[in-house]
Structure 1
Amino acid sequence: MKFEISTRLTYEARSSSTLILNIQPFQSPGQFVTNEHLELSAGLTFQDWLSPIGEKRIKVISIPEPGKIEISYQASVERNIQVVDAERLTDIPIERLPAAVLPYLNPSRYCQSDKLYKFARHNFKKHSHAYDKVQAVCEWIYTNVEYAGGFTTPQTSAFDTITDQHGVCRDFAHLGVALCRALTIPARYLTCYAYELRPPDFHACFEVFLGGQWIIADATRLVALNKIVKIATGLDAAETAFASIFGNLRFTSMKVEFEPATSTGEEPEEAALEGKGVNLY
């Protein structure tokens, strides 16, 4: 399936600053950017980096002087999903995990899995199959945490969310990651573009490493798992923010558009994914 993506960001620079931008879809065997274009305000320069940590493509933008900053990004993305039967999505013994996966077992800044170990064991130990545990984690979050804005901040952690029981996609994803790591299931935070997200925005969910592959999970139930485009993965939001500001730079507006370009009719509907995992490579 092909998608067309458009993102517009504006900032007000009050002095020379640097902006690290993370809005470009990640290139992989299952997701290919066929065309992309970036426009910046006059006088701005940038460098491209492929991060050695997680999966992300970043632009480091140099802003030499005060003024209004406008950034426009468009891309065409071809994306092929792999649907995996749940029976194959089993635990892998720690000693057999790839070295690159091991960090996703550990607590991180926003995902304090060490503080949630007893809670996770008490609530999800009855599930013997790893995929069932992940599904139960998502179900618990969806049922017990109210999806609502205005209650959390960029400093809100998974422990805060399970205590206060409200949050947005970022908080749902952090809690899902933390609970899965507490169950010794490698999990990582995922940012993406999501079809039919209302209002259009960047979205956060998470991935778990089961059966030798990364499988998408989303406790918000706001979007179809087979209709997202991956932007970045990491330990938590600290590694995957769509923009990181260094200097005196104020964010003023954002517009995100994400629509299908073509549909072959071969992609499974969301209802057909029950009992299966979705892998975007």
Structure 2
Amino acid sequence: MRLEIEASLVYEFASSTQVLISIQASQSRDQDIVSESLVFDPDAALTLDKNLEGDRRLRCVLSGPARITYRATIENRMRPLLPAQGRQHSWEELPHFAFPFLLPSRFCPSDRFMRFAQREFPQQGDGVARVLAVLDWIHRHIDYLHGVSDAETTALETFVDRAGVCRDFTHLAITFCRAIGVPARAVSAYALDLQPPDFHAVLEVYLENAWWLVDPTRLAPVGGLVRIGSGRDASDIAFMTTDKPCRMIEQNIVVRAVDQAADGPQSAQN
């Protein structure tokens, strides 16, 4: 699936502000970047960081009004969906890179949910069955509702309020998965068919020697997600982090599917 993305962010910075920006599509193995452009108005000196997963983050200093425009065409490869069956690994079997995603983090206090999660999602069936039970519980008990949560809301508060947005659904799913011994990490993404269009938060679980992408909100098809970054929780995947307060003036996200047949004639190959 080929997708076109446009993200336009306009912010006001009252004084010289250090900024981390994570809006570029990840250079990961399950998606190809056909083309992309990134424009800062006014221009800014940028430092690019890239991790082993292909996630990219920019560092810069901004002041006054600033417009950031990112455009990209992404070719999503055939992204595998969570399989019908998959083994949950014991701790000694886990690769070193997955183990940190078993531990509690700022927004995902999985240690507070050990008793609840292990009683609610017992070891019946394999790892996939337990993860699906987590997702079904969230679908039944948590309402998708704006205005209930904010940037400081944790999974514990979402569990009490029984409502939230994609960020809250993802934090609660991660928390439950870690509490039952399944590594889980937060993923920021662009999402086709998401209404209203916005940055989207989903998660990956580690089962059967692989990371599997799932959307606990069930609002966007996994095949239509464009990965931006991954981490322990929202503190690692925020699209913008600043060392001083700033004011959002405008923010627009557009994701659309491209009809590749309209790109022009293709030469046939035998």
| TM-score, structure 2 normalization | 0.92
Partner of 1:172 in structure 2?
169
Q: Is 1:115 matched with 2:112?
A: yes
What code does the residue aligned with 2:129 have? D
Partner of 1:139 in structure 2?
136
What code does the residue aligned with 2:55 have? K
Matched-pair contact (CA < 8 Å) for 1:189–1:233: yes
Indicate the larger mover: 179-188 or 89-98.
Answer: 89-98
Distance 1:205 1:127 in 2: 25
Counterparts of residues 1-281 of structure 1 (less than 5 Å):
1-51=1-51, 56-63=55-62, 66-83=63-80, 86-125=83-122, 127-262=124-259
| Pair 67,143 (structure 1): closer, same or farther in 2 beyond 3 Å | same
Matched-pair contact (CA < 8 Å) for 1:173–1:204: yes
What code does the residue aligned with 1:185 have? V
Distance 1:49 1:96 in 2: 30
Distance 1:140 1:182 in 2: 14
Matched-pair contact (CA < 8 Å) for 2:42–2:67: no
Matched-pair contact (CA < 8 Å) for 1:38–1:73: yes
Matched-pair contact (CA < 8 Å) for 2:14–2:64: yes
What code does the residue aligned with 1:39 have? V
What code does the residue aligned with 1:32 have? D
Distance 1:85 1:113 in 2: 22
Report the secondary structure of 1:5's partner residue: strand
Matched-pair contact (CA < 8 Å) for 2:229–2:237: yes
What code does the residue aligned with 2:58 have? K
Distance 2:134 2:8 in 1: 35
Distance 2:15 2:255 in 1: 33
Matched-pair contact (CA < 8 Å) for 1:48–1:58: yes
Unaligned ranges ≥5, structure 1: 265-281
Distance 2:113 2:149 in 1: 19
Report the secondary structure of 2:15's partner residue: coil
Matched-pair contact (CA < 8 Å) for 1:15–1:248: no
| Runs of 4+ with >6 A deviation | none
Report the secondary structure of 2:222's partner residue: coil
| Pair 228,103 (structure 1): closer, same or farther in 2 beyond 3 Å | same
Superposed CA RMSD in Å reads 1.7
> Aligned residues, how many?
261
Distance 2:161 2:81 in 1: 35
Unaligned ranges ≥5, structure 2: 262-270
Matched-pair contact (CA < 8 Å) for 2:7–2:253: yes
Give the deviation of 1:221 after TM superposition: 1.0
| Pair 175,13 (structure 1): closer, same or farther in 2 beyond 3 Å | same
Aligned residues with identical type, % of pairs:
33
Once the two structures are superposed, residues 39-97 of structure 1 have per-residue CA deviations (whole angstroms, 9 ceiling, x without a partner) of 11124221111146x6621111222xx42111111011111134367355211221121
Partner of 1:277 in structure 2?
none
Partner of 1:279 in structure 2?
none
| Pair 84,250 (structure 1): closer, same or farther in 2 beyond 3 Å | closer
Matched-pair contact (CA < 8 Å) for 1:55–1:233: no
Distance 2:173 2:82 in 1: 21
Once the two structures are superposed, residues 145-204 of structure 1 have per-residue CA deviations (whole angstroms, 9 ceiling, x without a partner) of 111011111111111111111111000000000000001000001111110101110111
Indicate the larger mover: 39-48 or 178-187.
Answer: 39-48
| Pair 55,127 (structure 1): closer, same or farther in 2 beyond 3 Å | farther
| TM-score, structure 1 normalization | 0.88
